[in-house]
Amino acid sequence: MDVRNINKGESSRVLRLVEQCGPYVAPHNLYVYWMLENYYTSTCKVMEHDSELIGFISGMPSVDNKSLFIWQICVHKEYRNQGIAFLLLDSILQSAREIGYRFMELSISENNNASQSFFEKYARTNQLKTVEKRKEHIGSTIEVIIKYEL
């Protein structure tokens, strides 16, 4: 099982995976995933197993912040807790470093304990420094916004 860049024509498959991974990641319009496969290829990664997509991470380079903003990360329920999200994040951060970005930013719903624990463990394991951590109301949800130095 290898991590690779998203391929052109794969947006429907990614959307199907995201649809199964709620409630903290929300499936968006197919057009959004089409943009990712066409314009963010090297910062959007997938993992495939037996011809099924089982993991997805999307990173959007922010020119303003010189950081990689992690938009969505999800692993199919049957494949969780096997280190797949670690591999997805490793891969995307390698690409971020290659393009000269020094920061990673992300937001996590305040109630999403699994994801918060995942990013904390990843940062600890890889000795990433937390530059900023704050809470923000976005509509009806409270998000924890975190910025790490790579």
Ligand X SMILES: CC(C)(COP(=O)(O)OP(=O)(O)OC[C@H]1O[C@@H](n2cnc3c(N)ncnc32)[C@H](O)[C@@H]1OP(=O)(O)O)[C@@H](O)C(=O)NCCC(=O)NCCS
Residue 141 to residue 132: CA distance in whole angstroms: 20
Instruction: Write out the binding residues for ligand X, residues 32-71 only, by CB under 6 A.
Output: none
Instruction: Rule CB under 6 A: say whether 84 interacts with ligand X.
Output: yes
**How far apart, in whole angstroms, are the C-alpha atoms of residue 67 and residue 106?**
10
Residue placing its CB nearer to ligand X in the complex, 1 or 9: 1
Yes or no: say if 85 and 116 are a contact pair by the CB < 8 Å rule: no
Tell me which stretch binds ligand X (CB under 6 A): 39-47, 61-69, 107-115, 123-131.
107-115
Q: Minimal distance in Å, beta carbon 58 to ligand X?
A: 11
Tell the residue number behind the tokens 């910062």, with chain if given: 43
Cα–Cα distance, 99 to 84 (Å, whole number): 23
Q: Which stretch binds ligand X (CB under 6 A): 5-13, 17-25, 36-44, 131-139?
A: 17-25
Query: How many Cα atoms occupy the beta-carbon half-sphere of 94 within 13 Å?
Result: 10
Residues that bind ligand X (CB under 6 A): 21, 24-25, 73-75, 80-86, 108, 112-115, 117-118, 121
